[in-house]
Chains A and B, each alone.
Chain A
Amino acid sequence: MSTYYASLLAESGILLLGALSVYIILATGQLSLGNGAFMGIGAYLSSYLTVALNVPLTLALVIAAIAAGIIGAIVAFPALRLKGIYLAMATVGFGEMVRSFFLNFDAMGGSGGYRGMQHISVGYVWLWAGGILIAVMLLERSRVWLEMQAVHDDETAAGLIGLNTTVTKIGAFGAGAAVAAISGGLFAHHNVYIEPANFGFDRSIEFVLAVILGGSTVGPGSLVGSLLLVFLPEFLRPIADWRLAAFGTLLILVLLVRRQGILDRSLIRTLTFRRAAA
């Protein structure tokens, strides 16, 4: 495999984790446009741990995930009172706040960025990405996931049938933040250089885009979305300057034809030759 494709593959693995981080939060009906910030927290924290403190990478990623998970849960508290577009705006604000924090955080390079991380292989990236994708797919069959869906569909009714909606929403935010942090840690150690601009608003949007394009109602949708988002612009290279315009057009077409994204429950059933439920 050429290094060119290897690096694209690694990029899509990192994007997959970012997309899953949005997907987990979206499953409870909350749209986060600030997951780039959790990714940044994971990237900076894990890099500091491996470079300055010589912590083994895997352990550093776990620590970063836990730390970001706690921050995510704290962020979720004020977010509990916000819904829809207002919540999305608040997460944008949070994202900008974190980005400007790193911009002014001179101990780790500020706007100049931070370097010195060991390089990781595409295999290591996909070990995490694949592992977490499988974990999410197992989670999708659990009681907890049903509770998340209930909160997504009708929060008031969910409370009135005995579900603790507060815990569900905060938990989803925490878990999403933790997954985004892993994505960030892998990004930092794959690119071996990070700067605050890597984790801005466009990164958060990219995550959301991968989820919406690939399919926002099933976990593997994030996989489809991430692969498309990374590889499709590359395959469109022959049309040179028009490739991003063509990509944008494709995106709009997909969303017009399939609002739920490319992959959904019924398509998965068809693909796996399972009998459709009447």
Chain B
Amino acid sequence: MSNALLQLTGVTKTFGGIHALSGMVCEVPEGKIVGVIGPNGAGKTTLFNTITGAYRADAGEVKLKGVDVTQWPSYRIVREGIARTFQNIRLFGSMTVWEHLLVAQPHSESAWRRLLPISWANPAAQARAEEVMEFFGLTELRDRPAKSLPYGIQRKVEMARAVTARPKLLLLDEPVAGMNHDEAEEIRALMIRLRDTGLTILLIEHDMNFVMRLCDYLYVLDFGVLIAEGRPEDVRTNPVVLDAYLGKDD
């Protein structure tokens, strides 16, 4: 894949003696939805944390559009174009939905303008927040404290917050965990609409059915090692993957 947006080569992360990730290689092509699956403790979230700079990789390279971002601090990686959500939702307790949509936007204005009231000085940021709020169907909830909202909606707010930063690549860590079928379907539809706007998505998910119907390509991790990759229909029948999920039949 020459048109890879994100490219990982030999990314390794160890905690003490534990190899959370060893020699991870993967590519995320532009405009696709790519999934990372694997049993609990396979290193999926570690992978996300390493890509976004929450952890420093011990070895290997993370490249976004050919730019090596491996050792960058998180905030620079986000500004370069990788935004994310979290497995356990991390919204800001003191902020409304509207404020969440303003806070994560990249700095297009000068530093002085950022010190002035938003309503005077940042029309562009407001327009962007308005646009994203509408896209995610959050307009009604604009002034509600985000943490007071139902779980499924909190997930949407978190996705919306990430999208306001105008990322090239969106990382979603278990976006439908704990959701019922209808809520999950809604998120799936949102992701497809986001992809259609040109956004590339890399997601972690446990729910195999969900992933199979959504992703264009899959990577399968087990004990920090990439054990399989391919299109969903190929991965589904891959014996190595079945072993990892269901246990070996000795």
Residues of A near any B CB (own CB < 8 A): 138-139, 141-144, 146-147, 149-150, 152-154, 156-165, 217, 277-278
Contacts and interface: CB of A to CB of B under 8 A. Distances in A.
Nearest to B140: A278
A149 B94 contact: yes
Contacts of A149: 92, 94-95, 99, 103
A153 B114 contact: no
A114 to B, nearest CB: 35
Contacts of B73: 159, 164
Given A146-B102, A153-B95, A154-B92, A159 B74 contact: yes
Contacts of A162: 74-75, 78-79, 83, 104, 106, 165
Contacts of B179: none
Interface residues of B, number: 40
A147 B54 CA distance: 19
B94 A152 contact: yes
B102 A161 contact: no
B193 interface: no
A139 B117 CA distance: 6
Contacts of B52: 160
> Which of A139, A141, A162, A277 has the most CB atoms of chain B within a 10 A radius of its CB?
A162
A161 B165 contact: yes
B78 A153 contact: no
Contacts of A139: 115
B1 interface: no
A143 to B, nearest CB: 4
A142 B118 contact: yes
Interface in B64-81: 73-75, 78-79
B144 A277 contact: yes
Contacts of A142: 114-118, 121
B79 A153 contact: no
Contacts of A217: 94
A143 B86 CA distance: 23
Given A161-B104, A161-B165, A162-B83, A146 B75 contact: no
Contact of B103 (A141, A147, A159): A147
A147 B102 CA distance: 9
A227 B114 CA distance: 31
A49 to B, nearest CB: 27
B161 A143 contact: no
Interface of B: 52-54, 73-75, 78-79, 83-84, 86, 90, 92-96, 99, 102-107, 109, 113-119, 121-122, 125, 143-144, 161-162, 165
B94 A164 contact: no
Contacts of B109: 143
Given A143-B114, A161-B78, A162-B75, A154 B106 contact: no
B106 to A, nearest CB: 7
Given A161-B103, A162-B83, A150 B125 contact: no
A150 B92 contact: yes
A147 B100 CA distance: 10
Contacts of B54: 156, 159-160
A147 B95 CA distance: 11
B4 to A, nearest CB: 22
Contacts of A160: 52-54, 74, 78, 84, 86, 90
B28 to A, nearest CB: 19
Given A146-B95, A278-B143, A163 B103 contact: yes
Nearest to A154: B90
Contacts of A146: 95, 99, 102-103, 118
A153 B116 contact: no
B90 A141 contact: no
Contact of B75 (A141, A143, A152, A164): A164
A192 to B, nearest CB: 35
Contacts of B96: 277
Question: Which are the 5 A-B pairs with shortest beta-carbon distances?
Answer: A162-B78, A141-B117, A277-B143, A153-B92, A157-B90
A66 B30 CA distance: 48
12 contacts: A138-B116, A141-B118, A142-B117, A146-B103, A154-B93, A157-B86, A157-B90, A158-B92, A161-B78, A161-B84, A162-B78, A162-B165
A270 B93 CA distance: 22
A150 B90 CA distance: 11
A163 B125 CA distance: 15
A149 to B, nearest CB: 5
Contacts of B117: 138, 141-142
Contacts of B74: 159-160, 162
Nearest to B103: A146
A217 B95 CA distance: 12
